[in-house]
Structure formats: structure tokens, C-alpha cells
A and B are shown apart, each in its own frame.
Chain A
Amino acid sequence: MPRRFDQARPFFTLGLVLLVWLILPGVLKRFARLSFYELKAPVDLAASYVGDLQDFWSQKTRTNNELIVAARDLAAVNASYEFRMRDDARLRTEISRLEELLRLPSYGEFRSEPARVVRRDFNAWWQRIIVRKGSNHGILVGSPVVYSGGLAGRVVEVHATTSVVELISSPGLRLAAVFDGDDRPVSFQGGVNPPLRPAQGVLEFVPLDLFATSAAPRSLVTSGLGGIFPPGLIVGQVVQLEPSTDGLFKTGRVLIDERLGRITEVTVLVPIDPSVVNAPGEAAP
């Protein structure tokens, strides 16, 4: 065999593999991807359960006194939450009454599905988590996900026992938000993830009369427009606003809660009406 061809043979083989891959039907590729995913998922699930077991055994080393103090603190927190739940029920009734009175369309209803985080996958290109609940628990693609710091993201893939959530710090997620106390929508996009610092987002189409600085930040919350994310969920703190190049609007930076970087527990808000999340994403203004 000529030496020149012999040298090129690896590339020829790779080209042939690539050609076969390109003409392979999409269904087969999707099947292969799902197979690889389901092959890989048990490894992370097992690691997650082992982590839970470690937590359990480390908790077993606590003394009775420590447990009594923790139970006392928890009782105080529970009392506070019970009061808030009653207040919440009263406010819901009030909202329903006003919606009927003003003939406003009501916001979508959600069912809460708490889930533990199996794996956090944060890099410059995407920020995703895998949670330990999937189609077996009725999770739907597009469902909003919340955590103790506010809005966490949106479910983008659902598998049998796991779901993949794209976080608000990911460049692929855009949503319509409003400044707390203002009703004009602005466009939020995640994706500024500098090293050794909390994630940030980019804000666009901000009206010129709104101001925020790092000394006087303003809260950014979901607008409820588009129907996927319920209104009022905290997205982050706007710490910088400056006029955009066209001078018609302002652009800015949103500091996302640093707890998102060590998120361990989330709640998936599964819509009661599945048609709410059928749309590919919440439209930005």
C-alpha cells in the first residue's frame, strides 16, 4: 500500500464513520442518546443515594441535646410557616375574588413536586442540574423549578427517573421579568458565569427611568407573561444599569443568588394543565 495513503488511512476511517453517522436516521441517534443517558444515570443516582446515606450516618453521631435544640428551632419555623400558609390561603381567595370581579384570566395552577439534586453541571457553556424525579412522577418538560432563593430554572429533559433542569444562570434561558414594584417587562438572559464569583445574568430593554446600582440594588421577579413561570418569583438583584447603544433602553447585570451554586433541593412546579408548558419557552418582550 502506498505510504501516503497509509498515513491518511486514520482520517479516511474517521471520515467514513462521520459519513455513516450523518446519514443515520435521527430516530436511531435519539435512541442511542437515550440509551447512553439511561446507562449513565444510575451511576449518578447511586452516588446521590450514597451521599444521602453518608448524611444519615453523620446525623446519627449527633447527641440527643443537639437534636432537642434542632427540634425546638424547627417547631418555631413550622409555627411561622403555618401562619404564612393561612395568610397564603386568604390571599388566594382574595385573588380569585378579584379575578372574578374584574373578569381577568387566572394564572395557571401548579402541583409542587419536591426533588433532590443528583448532579450539578455548571460550566461556561451551560448550567444544568439533574434531579431525582422524572416521568414516573409526572414531571413535564417546560415546568418551572424553584428553590429557597427563588426561581431556579426550567425542566428541559424528562427521563424515567430523572429530569434535567436548565438553570436561570444558563445562557440558553431567557425570560420576561419585571422590577419588583414595576409592571413593565424586561428581558432577562443568564450566562455570565465568571470564575470564583456567583453567576450573573444580562438584562435588556429596561425603561430609561429605572435605576439600580450595587449600593442600591433592586429585585427582579418573574412577570408571569407567557404563562410558564408564575409571577413574583425572585430572579436576582439588579446591580448595574447603563444606557444601551441605541439610547432607547438600558441594559444591566443581575446578580443571581449564590445559593444556586450549591443547590441541593428544588421544587418542580408541575402545571395542572399540561398545555401551559407546551410552548417552547416564555417569550421575552
Chain B
Amino acid sequence: MPTAFRQVFVLCLCACLLQSLAGQFNHLITSFAITLDFAGLLIAFAALRLPFRPALIVALFTGLWVDAYDPVSFGRHAFLYGLAVCLIHQLRDRLPREETFVCVVTALFTNLALCVLAGFLDLGALPDAGDGALRLLADLVASQLATALIGPWFIALQLRSLQLARAEPVSALRRYA
């Protein structure tokens, strides 16, 4: 089986796992009226470490997985995640992208960008934009804290899973050596 295929398969599985865990956690905390979103974390590792095409496929699959439950037009998250992968891919050569810290910070910025974009697109649809914005801000703060907390674990999980599948991404240092 080609390495790229194994990389896509493993990272899609990891993304599905995180989505399911996040869904279960959100299910448990609904009475607090707070929702956690790990969109940035779902794609940051793939965008920083994989070649472009596998990273894009991971982002599109993850987006469609998210879209399956959400009452938005099917493909919306896939497109947004794909766009985020394109942007990160453009910037990644200027970053020490194999560092876990960089991956977590990228996830945080991606989360922020996606939240702001969703706010711009949909805030007018809420009956009370003020309360809606307050809720979005609370969700964003909680999501960023949670992303920073579980980010290192999830990145390690992806890396170890790729190693287990013998599909570890090529190191940037090795590539330019």
C-alpha cells in the first residue's frame, strides 16, 4: 500500500476519533451552554507535515465527516478546511514545523480564523446578535483552552499512529539534507 494512502487513512481515522470524543464531551457539557470545537487541531498536523495532496484529502474527508451531522450545506466545512490547508501549506516552510508547539499554535490560529469566518457568514441569522456573539466568544475561549490542553496529546497520537503504520512523514531536515 503506498505511503501517502496509509498517511491519509491513519490521519482520517485520528480525526474521526477526535471528532467523536469531542462530540461525546460536548454532549456531556450541554447544560453549561458551552461548545468545544477542535477544527484547527483536526487539520494542523496534516497541513504542516504531509505533502499537499494527502493533506488536502485529509482536510476534505474530515470536513465532510463534520458536515454529515451539521445542518449546513454539505461540503462547507470541507471547503473551509481545504482553504486552511492551502494557507498553512504556503507558510509552513518559514516555520519550524516539526515542533509540537508550532503545530499547536497553528491549530489555535486556524480555530480562531474559522470561528471569525463563521461569525462573519452567519451571525446575522441569529435572532439576537449580541447574545450570539457572546456565546461565540465563550465557545472560542473554551475551545482554544481545550485545544492548547489536548493538542500535544493529539499530535503525538497522530505521529505514533503514522509510525505504527510505517508511514511517518519525511522530515524537513532529511529532505533538504
Contact check, A195 vs B52: say whether CB atoms are below 8 A apart: no
Give bound CA distance, A48 to B86, whole Å. 37
Query: If the complex has contacts A124-B135, A171-B125, are A195 and B34 also in contact, measured as CB distance less than 8 A?
Result: yes
Give bound CA distance, A193 to B134, whole Å. 9
Closest to B78 in A: A21
Give the interface size bracket for B toward A.
35 or more
Query: If the complex has contacts A10-B89, A171-B125, A258-B31, are A18 and B26 also in contact, measured as CB distance less than 8 A?
Result: no
Closest to B65 in A: A36
Give bound CA distance, A29 to B27, whole Å. 28
Binds B, one of A65-73, A102-110, A115-123, A221-229: A115-123
Number of A residues, CB within 8 Å of B: 49
B116 in contact (CB, < 8 A): no
Question: Using Cβ atoms and an 8 Å threshold, which residues of chain A touch B67?
Answer: 33, 36
Contact check, A32 vs B56: say whether CB atoms are below 8 A apart: no
Interface membership of chain B positions 116-153, coded 1 if the CB is closer than 8 angstroms to chain A and 0 otherwise: 00100010011110011011101100000000000000
Minimal beta-carbon separation of B86 from chain A (angstroms): 4
Contact check, A121 vs B69: say whether CB atoms are below 8 A apart: yes
Give bound CA distance, A120 to B70, whole Å. 12
Give bound CA distance, A171 to B68, whole Å. 20
Contact check, A120 vs B27: say whether CB atoms are below 8 A apart: yes
Contact check, B75 vs A21: say whether CB atoms are below 8 A apart: yes
B9 in contact (CB, < 8 A): no
Question: Using Cβ atoms and an 8 Å threshold, which residues of chain A touch B85?
Answer: 10
Interface hits, A189-236 → B, CB 8 Å = 189, 191-200, 202
A285 in contact (CB, < 8 A): no
Minimal beta-carbon separation of B43 from chain A (angstroms): 13
Interface residues of B: mostly helix, strand, loop or mixed?
Answer: helix
Question: Using Cβ atoms and an 8 Å threshold, which residues of chain A touch B37?
Answer: 123
Query: If the complex has contacts A32-B64, A192-B128, are A124 and B75 also in contact, measured as CB distance less than 8 A?
Result: no
B44 in contact (CB, < 8 A): no
Closest to A201 in B: B127
Question: Using Cβ atoms and an 8 Å threshold, which residues of chain A touch B71?
Answer: 126, 128, 156, 166, 172
Give bound CA distance, A78 to B101, whole Å. 59
Minimal beta-carbon separation of B170 from chain A (angstroms): 18
B164 in contact (CB, < 8 A): no
Give bound CA distance, A119 to B88, whole Å. 33
Question: Using Cβ atoms and an 8 Å threshold, which residues of chain B touch A81?
Answer: none
Query: If the complex has contacts A124-B35, A261-B30, are A10 and B139 also in contact, measured as CB distance less than 8 A?
Result: no
A37 in contact (CB, < 8 A): yes
Q: Kindly list the 4 A-B residue pairs having the minimum CB-CB distance in the complex, ordered from nearest.
A: A36-B68, A195-B138, A261-B31, A123-B35
21 A-B pairs in the complex with CB atoms less than 8 angstroms apart = A10-B56, A13-B52, A17-B82, A29-B74, A32-B64, A40-B16, A43-B16, A47-B20, A119-B23, A120-B30, A122-B30, A123-B35, A125-B118, A193-B33, A193-B132, A193-B135, A194-B134, A195-B138, A195-B139, A196-B33, A262-B31
